[in-house]
Amino acid sequence: MDRRHFLLTGLGTALGATGCQSASDTAHITGGFTGVDQERGHWLRDSLQGGKPWPAPAKVFKTKVLIAGGGVAGLAAARALRLRGEDDFALLELEDTAGGNSRAGTIAGLACPQGAHYLPLPGDDAPEVQDLLEELGLRTRVAGRWTYDERHLCHSPQERLLFQGEWQEGLLPVQGVGAETLVQYQKFATLVEQARSAARWSIPVQNGAPALVQRALAAITFIAYLEQNGLDDAHLRWYLDYCCRDDYGAGIATVSAWAGIHYFASRHGFHAPGAQGAEREGLLTWPEGNAWLTRRLAAPLGERLHTGRVVLRIASGRHGVEVDAFNTATQAVERWQAEQAIVALPVFVAARVVLNPPEFLRQAARTVAYAPWLVANLHLAGPLHDRPGAAPSWDNVLYGASGGAAGVGAGLGYVDATHQTLQAVAGPTVLTHYRALGDVAGTAPGAAVGAAGRTLLLERPWSAWRDQIVAELSQAHPDLAGKATRMDITRYGHAMAIPQPQLNGQIGHWPSQHLRSVLSKQKRYPARPVLAWERLRFAHSDWAGYSVFEEAFTAGHAAAG
């Protein structure tokens, strides 16, 4: 049975067992789309495509450094400026709050993430992130050793998988699998360790030039790598496909082999069942997800943070930078004049708003593919009935539910927003469901990766998503529909860059030219590459080719150096 038939058959069987959710079962569940304002991004797109022209600037403001974009990279740049004593700066953010993909909301008084929901404990390759965690009181040195605040570490049990009708601990299918499956688990573990021995795998990726073995992996898809190594086991492929969709927004047939190996080699490795020394990776999480971090990064900015600004134009000249932005509150265009600007915008946006953009920016905008994402927060009035097996966990995944079934993207299970509270008696909670749409199949020939998913996000009504998600999660909890009261859905059309194969084996989209090595004044920070052009510096995880907190934060920190 091939992978596609296996995945579709697995989900179809599971849905058949519970039945499709009817409108009468879900009609009482209220909600809607929330979290980000789709119209604001479309204003810019439509105006650049010949729509109504913007009015002339009504006001002019001056600052020394202008930061365009209030995601993790932009907030990191602002923090770095503050730490070096530079207060004359301004940050412009599209939404009403900063945070990028790390934002949050509340339902019935319960905090829940609307995007990124955890941060793995950073290694020594990311000292900038380590220092942030120390500043926020998340890590301290005790008796000469670094320790993390237990209140913010993900509480046990951390993760479980609904497999063959029962919950099992961990996400790698183990219970009842055959001997051949276990052999392939061990073979893949060996390959990961060989890769770790042959090259340095680090986050952020710009810590060093990639080795030849890494460049070779970056030129092929992950599924091609698995085929080359005879790894065809359905359970292993399902798990690896899930991992790639979870981190990159697309599966093993879309992402590069470098990305597939990097997922394991840069952090905790891959541990086959029964392996000695296998420990679960430590991670930090909060009921509101990574918004806990971005809110603390934004808080000290005060009046220097200007939200509700649609950046329209960035012009770099001999004597300074001009940035025009539409103020959604006053409905007027503002002009900002600065000595330099940090462009912390997604590459495809930067290429549209930078006047006469350099060729490296145009090229990156042509090659970066984006994964659309959907995040659904489902409020429950009370605790759910559970399948037998492992106890309720923070991360709960349904086997066979990923793979883009029925053309609605890959469902990645749910996290429990109240898991960190360790409440003695189970009560109302919010389940946060994630759906990756990076490789939803489209009908238009030659359509860009992610295009079909974006169309689906924009056109599919909220009620259709509600019914699909309730039906899927009801596989694990048959009483879910009756306990659900509200579902708020956040849509990201360009949530993250997908690390696709590049024929030249390049990792990420950093150009060889226009990179400057910036040496921090603080000795503990290594020299970091900064992408600079005229009076502009670019900082976004897009340039690394994939989206994780450490990449964005380090790029922003370096750009302000």
Q: pLDDT, tens digit, for every residue of 70-90? A: 999 999 999 999 999 999 999
Spacing of C-alpha 252 from chain mean position:
17
pLDDT of residue 444: 64
pLDDT at 410 over 50: yes
pLDDT of residue 326: 94
pLDDT at 13 over 50: no
pLDDT at 375 over 60: yes
Q: What is the per-residue pLDDT across 205-231, written as a single tens digit (0 to 9) for each?
A: 987 789 999 999 999 999 999 999 999
How many CB atoms sit inside 10 A of residue 387's CB? Answer: 14
Q: Where in the chain is the domain with CATH 1.10.405?
A: 175-270
pLDDT at 18 over 60: no
Query: Of the given ranges (5-19, 115-129, 209-223, 517-531), which has the lowest mean pLDDT?
Result: 5-19
CATH code reported for the domain at 175-270: 1.10.405
* Angle subtended by helix axes 72-83 and 549-559, to nearest 10: 40
pLDDT of residue 525: 80
Q: What is the per-residue pLDDT across 158-190, written as a single tens digit (0 to 9) for each?
A: 999 999 999 999 999 999 999 999 999 999 999
**Higher-confidence position of 273 and 20:** 273
What average pLDDT does range 267-287 have in this prediction?
Answer: 80
pTM above 0.75, yes or no: yes
Q: Do 71 and 100 form a contact (C-beta atoms < 8 A)? A: yes
> Any alpha helices (H) in 337-489, and if so which ranges?
347-353, 359-367, 451-459, 462-473, 480-483
Q: What is the per-residue pLDDT across 448-504, written as a single tens digit (0 to 9) for each?
A: 888 999 999 999 999 999 999 999 999 999 999 999 999 999 999 999 999 999 989
> Which of these, 351, 367, 331, lies nearest to 45 by C-alpha position?
351
pLDDT of residue 2: 35
pLDDT of residue 443: 59
**Greatest CA span in the chain, whole angstroms?**
71
Going by pLDDT thresholds of 50, 70 and 90, the confidence category of residue 521 is: low
CATH code reported for the domain at 39-103+289-367+509-559: 3.50.50.60
pLDDT at 153 over 90: yes
% helix / strand / coil in the chain, to the nearest 5? Answer: 35, 25, 40
**Higher-confidence position of 516 and 327:** 327
Show the tokens assigned to 460.
Answer: 């599919």
Over the chain, what is the mean pLDDT?
Answer: 89
**Higher-confidence position of 29 and 445:** 29
Q: Where in the chain is the domain with CATH 3.50.50.60?
A: 39-103+289-367+509-559
Q: How far apart are CA 309 and CA 342, in angstroms?
A: 15
Helix (H, G, I), strand (E, B) or coil at 297: helix
What average pLDDT does range 281-292 have in this prediction?
Answer: 93
